[in-house]
Amino acid sequence: MIGSLHLLRFLEGHSVLHRAGARSKVLALTMLVFGLSFDPSWSSVGIVWTTILLGFFVARLPRAVLPRPPRLLWWAMGLALGFGLLAGGEPSATLGQTSVAIGGLIFQIRFFGVTLGILGVALLLGWTTRLADLPPAASWLLAPLRLVRIPTDDVVAGLTLAVRSLPLMADELATTAALWSARPPTSDKRLVQAIDFAATATVAATRRATELGEAVANRGPLVINVRQQPWVLADGLVVAFGVAAVTAMTVL
């Protein structure tokens, strides 16, 4: 289940997105997220999803990398849509002689479009960018905050640890899930099994965090050497496309 999501999995390639640096892609992602947050209209959602599809084909990514969410997530989304339909609200749809208020359902669908759109752009960034390039890009993006005495170096150090820990946690959860599925069947209810699995995963995550904290404490202060790569033509194209997408959101 964990491996089927393909989170932050870099794929080798020679496309424009692969040649562009992390700074330009993080900047374009930030612009898209801010634009979608301030104007989550249907046109903005459509622009973001168009960006995802174009980026997917431009990067020439295989279809096998697409996430395969667990069935439980689909059930949860269906339940949320059901509650949205029960909430009612304008407008109304007429089915024969019955009028059904679908305002809540439309709002829930648009919420899923916004949420999954942001996730899709983030996945596109992870598929075309190495994890080691993200902290320098964040340092460059947060550089203006140093003027107001915000400790951006500490923020970048924390981001670096978080990014480095994600693959470790994914492997730990995958191992826990594999061991859990291989255990002998029990008569416990599904809710009890889910609680036991969550407790096991929490213990594993706490153990990993303790080991990482002890390693950092023994190593001393974490200093991140930021080396920015020169800008290339691909960076300009990515930033220009991000500006065009946000401009289209504003105009439409």
> Tens digit of pLDDT for each residue in 153-182?
777 777 777 777 777 777 777 777 777 777
Pick from 29-33, 135-139, 140-144 the range whose average pLDDT is largest: 29-33
Judge contact between 56 and 2, C-beta under 8 A.
Answer: no
Segments forming the whole domain that contains residue 78:
3-251
Tell me what pLDDT residue 1 has. Answer: 45
Looking at the structure of the chain, the number of domains it has is 1
- Using DSSP's 3-state secondary structure scheme, residue 188 falls into coil
The model's pTM is 0.74
Task: Quick: pLDDT tens for 167-220.
Answer: 777 777 777 777 777 777 766 666 677 777 778 778 877 887 787 778 777 766
Judge contact between 59 and 121, C-beta under 8 A.
Answer: no
Of the pLDDT bands very low, low, confident and very high (cuts 50, 70, 90), residue 247 is very high
Mean pLDDT for the stretch of residues 17-32: 90
User: Please, what is the angle between helix 103-128 and helix 71-87, to 10°?
Assistant: 150
C-alpha to C-alpha distance for 118 and 214, rounded to whole angstroms: 34
